[in-house]
Structure 1
Amino acid sequence: MFNIKKTTVGALAALLLVATSCKEDYLNINNNPNQATSATPELVLPGALASSASYIQTRFPFLNLWMGYWNWSGNYSIGTSDKNYQFTNAFGAGIWDNGYLILKNYNYIDTQGAALNQPVVQAMAKIMKAFHFQILVDTYGNVPYTEALSGVSTASPKYDDQVAIYEDLFKQIDAALALFDQADKLSEQGGTVLNPGTNDIMFHGDLDEWRRFANTLKLRMLLRQSEKPERQAFIQSQLTVLKASPYGFLEARENAAVNPGYTNSANRQNPFYGNFGSTVTGTPTELNNQYKANKYAIDFYQQTNDPRLGRFYFPVGGTGTNFNATFFGTIAPLVNSQVSAIGPALIAAPDQDAVILSSHEALFLQAEAAQRGWITGNAKTLYQQAITESFLNVGLTAAQAATYYSQAINNVGWDASPNKLQAIITQKWASLNGFSPFEAWSDYRRLGYPNVPISQDPSTTIRQIPIRLLYPQSEYNYNQTNVNAQGTVSQFTTKIFWEK
């Protein structure tokens, strides 16, 4: 379980939000983000943040399959298209639809925050808009951006160039940081500044943590572009801005995670737990029965003497030390009684915090940036700190982490790893199991690490993990002219701009 402080916001009924999971009916107060509402921005904020966490933790289970973390259970008959990457426009449609619905809520907070002269909450919304638009670009490439949140006034929004969107996201984050500075100055001058406080269910009104989160998002976006020579001038210009910031990046024990008051009652559980763990009566959910361990990950943890194995997976039968699994797409998957299940660190409790960006991911980003010479800091130290954070976040100890990374094993021990970048990304992959497969997929598309096996299904004629998703069918139904202008799209050949 991620050991993060928990804050309960009592007024869940006040949240304005489009629910992003069937497990979140208690948040489903306003299903039409285009409809006028009198909710103040600070009351909309906790629902939007909870929605973001649910989106990250529940919309990408297929990436746990692709990235070697999970496999299908032999108790289920799985459609061939789910095993050979030959999906249609219906695949992953909720990523698009719910992504834009969440953005509508943040846009409401942004515009109302400006209208009501609430710079703090407005800045938070701008940062989260950048967070979600990056995910959409990283998934689809060109997407509606400048006209996307105009509501009924622009029913068929144009698609913007993905590079232009990325560059504008840096400007939006800078505008948010300037709003924080404006709020600080106003407060210093004796003015009244509304801080959402406990309604900020991620950082509880700590603006410096928000600043570090914003800088970490910037660093993540810059590293996405690391392999593209034509992007180096932009990267260097943005690094100059980042280096000038006195706030740095998310640090040890600074997980960006939310908890609006999760509890073990109907529709109020942590979204990951409620989807992939147990029902309120303690019965495993259908998805818990459906998704089991992948042999690729189990082999890695076993071969590197990694105690996280028993945190990411349960042993067969729930007790003992026997971990078992098969590879994704196998024609002979194991039934539930013979295969390891999703482990106790991922489904610790129904009231566990929901992670948006973990402290260990933030430190791995910094380790990579330091290894590239982009930022100051010792890459080895940051690498070991990141591994330590991963251990702590799954309920292990710093001493166990030190024993682990002190081994003379390639891609584990720093000195034993000739390719430092590969070691960083491999250990980052090992830490992202379950909660953050999107980031593992993004690193794989960018660098090819680690060498995750292709689906074993015999019908997998294109032996390649997809590099993007297809635009959803809803776009072809309701925004046909603009989506058709993007040309023919393939999940295997139509690259996101930063991919190799």
Structure 2
Amino acid sequence: MKIPFKMLAAVAMATAATGCSSFLDVNDNPNSPTTITPDNILAQALTTTASLYTGGNPSFNHYGSFVAGYWGRSGVVNGYQEETTINYTNTFQQALFNNTYDNLNDYNIIQTKGMADGYPNHAAIARIMKTYQFLLLVDEYGDIPYTQALQGAAVTTPVYDKAADIYKDLLVQLSGAISDINAVDPNALTVGNEDVVFKGDMKKWKQFANSLKLRILLRQSQTEAGGTASADVKSQLAALQSAPDGFIAQDVVVQPVYAQAAGQQNPFYNRYGLTAAGTNATELLYQIPTKYIIAVYENNKDPRVAQLYKLGLRNDSIKYIGTKFGERSPPGFSATQIASRFLPSGGLLKGPSAPTVLMLLSEHLLSKAEAETRGLFTADAVTAEKDYKDGIKASFLYFYRPAGGAIITLADATDATPGVKEYNQYIAANLTNPKVDYKLAPTKPGLGKQEVIIFQKYLALNSVGSIEAWDDYRRTGLPKFDASTQSQSPRADKLPTRLLYPLSESSTNQANVPVGVDQYTKIFWDVVD
């Protein structure tokens, strides 16, 4: 395993720096990795996590958007061969593994030095974010280095821990982080602007930890016979429902003061939108929406389609033009045929200064509704329906919020809030549609209305938290989106089940890398099919 000593640029500079460039510039400091203080590197560690999750190169969202059926390649690029054929190699998405461990090392330093040097709140934040990042790795790779990871030169060939065991400890770590925050002396050093997520509001960090717990426990909730939850998972969910600090009440985003300047733009916009100079980003025209996702919006009278994509052109007809994933001659951008692409200043390409998502409120609320309708949380049908509708509404608020718009709670939304009018139109237009109307959605024994909840969650996560939609699909088999027509997968759904361990691991830690693993080896919680 690569043992990183990656540190973040301004950490070796003046400790008082709080400007945009000090949060966004990145550099290596291999000779003196621990001569800084936690408050110097927290902002950049969080910013790196956001880039890895949603919009940077690499990112979990990029991989998830293809494999979960949101994106296909356009006719102007010949790439994406492994995504299209489902014939992975050990270099495919290799940087996700290595860069996530680099980022984990940053958090490990913050946590270790924070506890030793009087930064207890910084240490607790790092403990939560280590869980966040390890969860991403386990969900895409299964068994990974965990107990012996992040030890630098002391352990250069760490063992691989079982994914199920890591999951159990991730819950322990989140509970420990909450306890750490509760135990902090009121006179202890506080967190300031270096917290580019919650600005030092430690109650919100506890709520985020609880929402992460729900994400983890739902992954585990169908691993027993008949697709049910174990007694331990049920017990932990029951305790979680009554957690004193509750759950997140708004989108969890990173905002290090992104700006239209080189190296300082929102990473998704920088990769798929425009450069700081205003020219087209390299990948602006490389990926286009699938016919499947466009049809889902159009068939359900969903106005979000117009907020996400530009209209295209085919045979003199102006309409949304997508691709069948795996199409050998997909639509491109010629005089007679123009594919749809992300709408500039829309729900995805909001702008260079837009914040980057770590967790959408819509994801959390729809997860909560699933737990309620399946009896994993104690709630009546009215409560479950409210959380379901609030989850959809939160998605509209996110997609319609402009780049500089305030991150608000549902309670603060008014009829004038962008997205509220469109949400009301969506609900009113679908009063007889079981894919939208909660009361009409079918109920399955033990699963409640999981199918419609996962369907709406899939729409909410589109191209923002696509990796969560991919994880939900492997957990539930829902929704039944179209796989690539060129897929070589032997599975009935023509999809993979995981990523391969990277070449860098087999080159440096071969004795510990699990054997017999291919792209169809399942993660432990993937049992439904």
TM-score when scaled to structure 2? Answer: 0.85
Task: Count the aligned residue pairs.
Answer: 470
| TM superposition shift of 1:368 | 0.9
Q: How big is each residue's C-alpha offset from its partner over 1:428-473, in whole Å with a ceiling of 9 and x where there is no partner?
A: 0001111111000000000011101121127666552111000000
Q: Counterparts in 2 of 1:295-314, with a 5 A limit?
A: 295-314=291-310
**Contact 2:122–2:191 (8 Å) recurs in 1:** yes
Q: 2:371 aligns with which of 366, 369, 372?
A: 369
> 2:350 matched to 1:348?
yes
CA distance in 1, matches of 2:297, 2:254: 29
Q: Match of 1:489?
A: 517
**Separation in structure 1 between the aligned mates of residue 396 and residue 268 of structure 2, nearest angstrom:** 20
Instruction: Give the drift of 1:402.
Output: 2.7
Per the alignment, residue 203 of structure 2 pairs with 208
Answer yes or no: is the 8 Å Cα contact 2:288–2:341 preserved in 1. Answer: yes
2:424 maps to which residue?
402
Correspondence 1:319-338 to 2 at 5 A: 322-337=319-334, 338=338
Partner Cα distance (2:512, 2:390) in 1: 46
> Where does residue 112 of structure 1 map in the other structure?
113
Picking from 28, 31, 40, the partner of 1:30 is 28
Question: Is 1:478 paired with 2:508?
Answer: yes
Counterpart residue identity of residue 394, structure 1? F
- Specify the alignment match of 1:414 in structure 2: 438
1:194 Cα deviation after fit: 1.3
1:237 positional shift: 2.7
Once structures 1 and 2 are overlaid, which stretch shifts more, 276-285 or 40-49?
276-285
Query: What SS does the corresponding residue of 2:72 show, helix, strand or coil?
Result: strand
* Aligned equivalent of 2:254, options 239, 258, 280: 258
Match of 1:4 in 2: none
The residue type equivalent to 1:277 in the other structure is G
Q: Say which SS state the counterpart of residue 229 (structure 1) adopts.
A: coil
1:495 Cα deviation after fit: 1.0
Kindly indicate whether the alpha-carbon contact (under 8 Å) linking 1:144 and 1:158 is maintained by their aligned counterparts in 2: yes
Q: 2:474 is paired with a residue of what secondary structure?
A: helix
Q: 1:57-96, aligned counterparts within 5 Å?
A: 57-58=54-55, 59-60=59-60, 61-78=62-79, 80-96=81-97
Deviation at 1:15, TM superposition (A): 4.4
Counterpart CA distance in 2 for 1:121 and 1:371 is: 37
Unaligned runs of 5+ in 2: 1-7, 14-20, 401-417, 444-448
* SS state at 2:205 partner: helix
Task: Read off the aligned partner of 2:525 and give its amino acid letter.
Answer: W
Q: Distance in 2 between matches of 1:363 and 1:150?
A: 37
- Answer yes or no: is the 8 Å Cα contact 2:489–2:495 preserved in 1: no
Contact 1:143 1:159 in 2 (8 A): yes
TM-score between both structures, scaled by the size of structure 1? 0.90
Whole-Å separation in 2 of the counterparts to 1:310 and 1:42: 42
Provide the C-alpha distance between the structure 2 equivalents of 1:29 and 1:429, rounded to a whole number of angstroms.
36
Moved more, 403-412 or 118-127: 403-412
- 1:339 is matched with 339
Change (3 A) 1:113 1:24: closer
Q: Which amino acid aligns with 1:264?
A: Q
Calculate the aligned-residue CA RMSD, in Å.
2.1
Q: Matched residues in 2 for 1:496 and 1:433: separation? A: 23
After superposition, give the CA deviation of every residue in 1:10-66 in whole Å (9 maximum; x if it has no partner).
xx963479xxxxx9995213354x843321101111011001100101313132122
Q: 1:468 maps to which residue?
A: 498
- Larger deviation: 267-276 or 462-471? 462-471
1:47 equivalent in alignment to 2:44: yes
- Mapped to 2, the partners of 1:293 and 1:382 lie a distance apart of 28
Q: Take 2:95 and 2:181, find their aligned partners in 1: how far apart are those partners?
A: 33
1:236 CA displacement: 2.1
Contact 2:274 2:280 in 1 (8 A): yes
CA-CA distance at 1:228 after TM superposition: 0.8
Cα distance in 2 between the residues matched to 1:258 and 1:178 = 24
Cα distance in structure 2, aligned partners of 1:291 and 1:163 = 35
2:512 partner SS: helix
Q: Equivalents in 2 of 1:458, 1:93: separation in Å?
A: 20
Give the direction of change, closer, same or farther, for the CA distance of 1:80–1:205 in structure 2 (3 Å limit): closer
Select between 298-307 and 288-297 the one with higher mean Cα deviation. 288-297
Q: CA deviation at 1:409?
A: 1.2
Aligned to 1:3: none
Q: 1:380 aligns with which of 368, 374, 385?
A: 385
Stretch moving more, 327-336 or 298-307 = 327-336
1:239-278 to 2 correspondences below 5 Å = 239-251=237-249, 254-278=250-274
* C-alpha spacing 1:123/1:313, structure 2 compared with 1 (3 Å): same
Q: Secondary structure at the match of 1:355?
A: strand
CA displacement at 1:327 relative to structure 2: 1.2
Give the conservation status (yes or no) of the 8 Å contact 2:67–2:83.
no
SS across alignment from 1:169: helix
Greater shift after overlay, 215-224 or 79-88?
Answer: 79-88
- 1:24 and 1:271 in contact (8 A); partners too: no
Is the 8 Å Cα contact of residues 71 and 290 (structure 2) preserved in structure 1? yes
Equivalent residue of 1:71, what SS? strand
Q: Distance in 2 between matches of 1:460 and 1:123?
A: 42
Q: Which amino acid in 1 is paired with 2:502?
A: P
Contact 1:13 1:29 in 2 (8 A): yes
Deviations 1:161-218 (A, max 9, x none): 11111111111111111111111xx21xxxx211212111001111111111000000
Choose which of 187, 193, 199 in structure 1 pairs with 2:194.
199
Q: Which amino acid aligns with 2:389?
A: Q
Matches within 5 A, 1:151-190: 151-183=152-184, 186-187=185-186
Identical pairs, percent: 36
Any conservation in 1 of the 2:84–2:487 contact (CA below 8 Å)?
no
- Measure, in 2, the Cα distance between the counterparts of 1:80 and 1:129: 32
- On the 8 A contact 1:42/1:196 being kept in 2, the answer is yes
- In the alignment, what sits opposite 2:477? 448
Q: Closer, same or farther in 2 for the Cα pair 1:25/1:111, shift >3 Å?
A: closer
Determine the structure 2 residue equivalent to 1:279: 275
